[in-house]
Chains A and B, each alone.
Chain A
Amino acid sequence: DTGVSQDPRHKITKRGQNVTFRCDPISEHNRLYWYRQTLGQGPEFLTYFQNEAQLEKSRLLSDRFSAERPKGSFSTLEIQRTEQGDSAMYLCASSLGGREEQYFGPGTRLTVT
């Protein structure tokens, strides 16, 4: 499967713990995006990378959130001091420059207890 992959698929953590998610985009895609989706809502944009540069961050991305894409390939999203409100599905997507459509991974479902 050459689609976008995300790991882990599910994560249960206790409030106050740190968590890190990984996204591997489609190999030739230079753009990578993170979204968050809660039940009954559409995905909400968090941040966007072009190659290794983080070019845009949503106001949803609080100081507890950090994302990296160190070599312009895979990306990580870290949430520090998790809160119950962080419980959501975290989606990663990638796209190829010059093409508008984004391709999504299966998501990481985070549950904060």
Chain B
Amino acid sequence: AQSVAQPEDQVNVAEGNPLTVKCTYSVSGNPYLFWYVQYPNRGLQFLLKYITGDNLVKGSYGFEAEFNKSQTSFHLKKPSALVSDSALYFCAVRDFSGSNSGYALNFGKGTSLLVTP
């Protein structure tokens, strides 16, 4: 199956510093990759996606992600972190494996981002 891995359970960063949340993928064919953010007691919010085209994808709230085919990575980045960015971040990939339609998303386990003042 197509899958993603988030190697870090938690990332801590000081406000104003750049942040990176890591994601690696394992797919056959071209990956469709996504980042979502989840705030406490709220649903997942879409941040950005990579389907094709430029390897640097810009999304909501100043986030961007870099698709790297050779390293099979899709890391989420932000130049200057805010305390309000503290949340749970999920990387996801569309699942085209087997007889699946390809519309289901396979999510990573999530990375908790804590931005301290």
Which residues from B are CB-within-8-Å of A100?
A: 32, 34, 49, 51, 94
Interface size on A, residues (CB 8 A): 26
> In the bound complex, what is the Cα–Cα distance between A44 and B109 (angstroms)?
10
Q: Which residues of A contact B109 (CB under 8 A)?
A: 40-42
Cα distance A106–B91 in the bound complex, in angstroms: 18
Residues of A within 8 A of B100 (CB): 56
A residues near B51, Cβ cutoff 8 Å: 100
Residue numbers in B under 8 Å from A56 (CB-CB) = 100-101, 103-104
Residue B90 interfacial (CB < 8 Å): yes
Pick 29 A–B contacts, CB within 8 A, sort by A.
Answer: A4-B43, A33-B104, A33-B105, A35-B105, A40-B110, A41-B110, A42-B90, A42-B107, A43-B90, A43-B107, A45-B95, A45-B104, A45-B106, A48-B101, A48-B103, A48-B104, A50-B103, A55-B101, A55-B103, A56-B100, A56-B103, A91-B44, A93-B44, A100-B32, A100-B49, A100-B51, A101-B46, A101-B49, A102-B105
Q: Which residues from chain A sit less than 8 Å from chain B, CB to CB?
A: 4, 31, 33, 35, 40-45, 48, 50, 55-56, 58, 91, 93, 95, 100-107
